[in-house]
Structures are given as structure tokens and as C-alpha cells.
A and B are shown apart, each in its own frame.
Chain A
Amino acid sequence: MNWEMALQQEGARWRAASSAGAQDVERLLRGTMARLGGSGLQAEEALALLGHLLEPLCGRSGAASAMATAARQCGGVSRRTWPRFVTSLSELIGSFCGLAAGQLVGQAGHSLEVA
């Protein structure tokens, strides 16, 4: 075996499999810009906004319960866990209120910049 070539190929394969997509990079860029400008929402503000969106879909207690469950699943809500939180919440809402509602919540949540 040519080890130089094998290592290069394996390295390239791993990079390709684990590389971030363009959308992820753009999301990170927006977040970084928000941090640079000192803008962006606090996690509590972002949660409140999502809550307003959820209440008409599944009621106040349903919204609170879904957000609490999603928060538990991702170990709390913070800037770092926000993308995972939104994904969990989107899946939960999707399973209770239908796929379209879940996608709506996912898109709204991922569009928020949490500082």
C-alpha cells in the first residue's frame, strides 16, 4: 500500500463526510456578525418569540411543554445549543401538529440569531 496516498485519500474522505454545508456556514457567519455588532437576541427573547408562534398551533401549555421538552433534550437553551434546540422543537411540533407546522417552527427558529 502507498501510505502517502492512502492517508491523503482517507483524510479527504473524512473531510468530505464531516464538512459543513454552505447553509451552516452562512448561519455561523450571521451569528458571528451578530456577536461582532453586539446584536442578536438573548436566549429568553428568542424563546418568547418562538412561544408566540407556537401558541396558536398547540396552545399555551402545549407550547410551554414542547419547549421544555426540547430544552431538556439538548441540555438547556443557550447560544451554543440553540440550533439543536430548534431542531428538537421542530421535530416535536411536527409529530404533534403536523409536518408543515414543524417545518415552520424550524425555519423561524433557525432564522433567529441568539447572542
Chain B
Amino acid sequence: MSVTLTAEQLEVALESFVACPDEERFAVLFRLLAPQLLVYFRARGCEAGVAEDLTQEVMLTLFRKVDGLRDRDLFRPWLFRIAKNALLQHLRKQGQRVETVALVDRLEGVAWNPFAGLALGEWLACLSEADRELLLLRYVDGFTHHEIAALLEMPMGTVQWRVFQLKKRLAEHFR
């Protein structure tokens, strides 16, 4: 599923940056990825200023740690794991209790509901936090099942099955 960029565009930009990590190639990558990161943070309740700051932090980490990327096919899950950790760290700084490493548990404390008043908000509201996160990854962030599996570290079949079950549950709930 394409969001704002094609896999090919990203692959070319990433390959170019990894081969020669200079600022010009970083800028190309930044223009492709920053809008997606902003959407990621906004969809998880961050205010605009916080979303921008976290996006910059993630992109700085990308610039500095791109050497740590082992599998380029799993670049987006790698990047969004950094994003998830940045968000968790931000929430910790905000003083929210952190008892588990599961991001979804942390989002209960976010005051702003980005989907308030929308059909999507109504649908997400009847799901658990974990299920909601799965649908956000799939339909708002636009990840493939393969990418979600890598990001959440679970088998792809499980991801596909859970997404299928969630749609079925929504269909029953809003019949």
C-alpha cells in the first residue's frame, strides 16, 4: 500500500544515501520520510510541535546510525522502531507511567484524540489499544503486513490473521 511515496523511490534514495551519506542525499530521504513520521506521531496523539521535534530526532538518528541498518528491505520497520522508541522516551519525560515497553499501553495517557469526530475514530474506539495500533500501522501509516510483522516482531501470518479478524469484528459491531 502506498502512502506518500513508492517503495522504489525510497529504495533509490536510501541506496544513494547509504552509498554516500552526505547532506544532499539526506535531504532527499528527509523529504520522503518526514511527512510519514509526522503522520505517525500525530496519529498517536502528539501535538504538532512535538511531532515535528520527534520527527527531527528520528531523522537525526537515521543520519547517524544508518550503518546499523542490516536489512534494507526492512528499512521502514527499522526507522519506525526508532520512532516508537522516541515517542516512548518523550512520554516518559512527560512523566507518564511506564510499566511495560508496549507503546500501545502508553497511548492511553495522551489527551488529544486525533480521530475525534471521524468515522475512523468511532471504529478505533471500540477496539483494544493493541488492536488499534495494528490498524493504525496498516491503514493510517500504510505499512504492509510484512513490515508490520517486522516492526511488531511477530509472524506475518499472525498479522494477516489479526487484521482479518479485526475487520470481521468491526463488521459485526457496526452491522
Contact = CB atoms under 8 A, between A and B. Distances in A.
A32 B56 CA distance: 6
Contact of B53 (A4, A10, A80): A80
Given A8-B139, A31-B56, A83-B52, A18 B42 contact: yes
Given A11-B140, A25-B35, A28-B34, A36 B52 contact: no
B88 interface: no
A10 B174 contact: no
A20 B35 contact: yes
B60 interface: yes
Interface residues of A, number: 28
Interface in A66-105: 79-81, 83-84
Interface in A1-34: 1, 3-4, 6-8, 10-11, 13-15, 18-20, 24-25, 28-29, 31-33
Contacts of B75: none
Contacts of A36: 23, 26, 60, 63
Interface string B149-175: 000000000000000000100110010
A36 B63 CA distance: 9
A40 to B, nearest CB: 11
B19 interface: no
A35 B34 contact: no
Contacts of B39: 15, 18-19
22 contacts: A1-B174, A4-B167, A6-B119, A7-B139, A8-B1, A11-B142, A14-B43, A14-B120, A15-B39, A18-B114, A19-B4, A20-B34, A25-B30, A25-B34, A25-B35, A28-B30, A31-B56, A79-B53, A80-B52, A80-B53, A81-B49, A83-B52
